[in-house]
């Protein structure tokens, strides 16, 4: 298992997503147990956002991480585009820190591109870094053109990651965005890496090749999907699950090293894109 270098740290390549987590009282204890099980098994990255449950997910994360050493974690949160101004970003950061019950976040992302000039957002992010409230900043849902423009801006090269939807059924970014980020030494953060439990329409769990490879490694298809997602050593996958067993299985996927033969078989069914495709969203 290779750790991923991001924002000056080496991080376990599978993290935890938290969208729609912490919203239902009857599932709260189960969701806390799942998060803590992941952390007990080596997870460091927990991804959340001010948008998720209007702050509920951040409050949930703040509670779930209480028993753990803060410096071992890598907390990621995101600011809404409408809040990405010099005036509003400090307010959003402070509110997120209060909900997370921490003094800083390790990575703070612009959730998606909005109407506020990126130069202004970067300036506010850099100021928050100097204040120690965020350790690094990045973006989310940026396509290759967005990233190209970003890197040309003052301090744009400080962008620590781009978080996008990426899984075997949504691998359009392999044509241009992934190579471009690799060339600029920017790691990828992949949301929906198991296609939301194979609910995005690709019927991954029914594919014979994936079933055969999963048997080879005494794993399930979802573990193979995660192993595929992090195969290049420059991707952090952030699957979401409220099931403790599923979370632990997801973590164990980091130990699966797919061979060139495995990858060739997968490519024969889900080939690399040969043309640029629009970024998959949500």
Task: Answer yes or no: 52 catalytic.
Answer: yes
Residue whose C-alpha is closest to residue 95's, from 57, 147, 68: 57
What angle is formed at CA 202 by the lines to CA 169 and CA 205, rounded to 5 degrees?
100
Residue whose C-alpha is closest to residue 17's, from 72, 77, 73: 77
* Catalytic residue (choose from 52, 166, 191, 270): 52
- The rounded distance, in Å, linking the Cα atoms of 34 and 30 is 6
Gyration radius of the chain over CA positions: 18
Residue whose C-alpha is closest to residue 176's, from 142, 201, 202: 142
Q: In what order do the strands lie in the sheet with 45-47?
A: 16-17, 45-47, 74-79, 107-110, 137-140, 159-165, 188-191, 235-238
Token pair, residue 5, equals: 């270098």
By annotation, the residues acting in catalysis are 52
């Amino acid at each position: 298992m290779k750790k991923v270098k991001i924002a000056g740290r080496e991080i376990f390549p599978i993290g935890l997503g938290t969208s729609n987590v912490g919203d239902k009282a009857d599932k709260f204890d189960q969701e806390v147990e799942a998060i803590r099980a992941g952390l007990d098994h080596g997870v460091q990255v927990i991804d959340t956002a001010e948008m998720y449950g209007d702050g509920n997910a951040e409050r949930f994360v703040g509670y779930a991480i209480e028993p753990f050493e803060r410096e071992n974690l890598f907390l990621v949160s995101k600011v809404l585009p409408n809040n990405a101004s010099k005036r509003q970003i400090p307010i959003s950061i402070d509110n997120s820190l209060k909900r997370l019950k921490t003094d800083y976040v390790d990575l703070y992302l612009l959730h998606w591109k909005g109407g506020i000039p990126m130069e202004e957002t970067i300036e506010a992010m850099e100021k928050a870094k100097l204040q120690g409230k965020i350790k690094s900043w990045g973006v989310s849902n940026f396509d290759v053109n967005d990233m190209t423009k970003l890197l040309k801006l003052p301090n744009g090269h400080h962008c620590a990651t781009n978080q996008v939807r990426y899984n075997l059924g949504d691998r359009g970014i392999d044509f241009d965005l992934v190579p471009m980020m690799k060339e600029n030494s920017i790691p990828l953060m992949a949301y929906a890496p198991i296609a939301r439990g194979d609910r995005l329409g690709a019927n991954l769990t029914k594919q014979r090749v994936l079933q055969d490879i999963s048997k080879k490694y005494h794993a399930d298809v979802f573990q193979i999907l995660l192993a595929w997602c992090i195969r290049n050593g420059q991707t952090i996958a952030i699957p979401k699950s409220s099931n403790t067993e599923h979370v632990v299985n997801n973590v164990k996927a980091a130990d699966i090293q797919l061979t060139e033969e495995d990858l060739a078989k997968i490519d024969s069914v889900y080939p690399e894109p040969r043309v640029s495709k629009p970024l998959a969203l949500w």
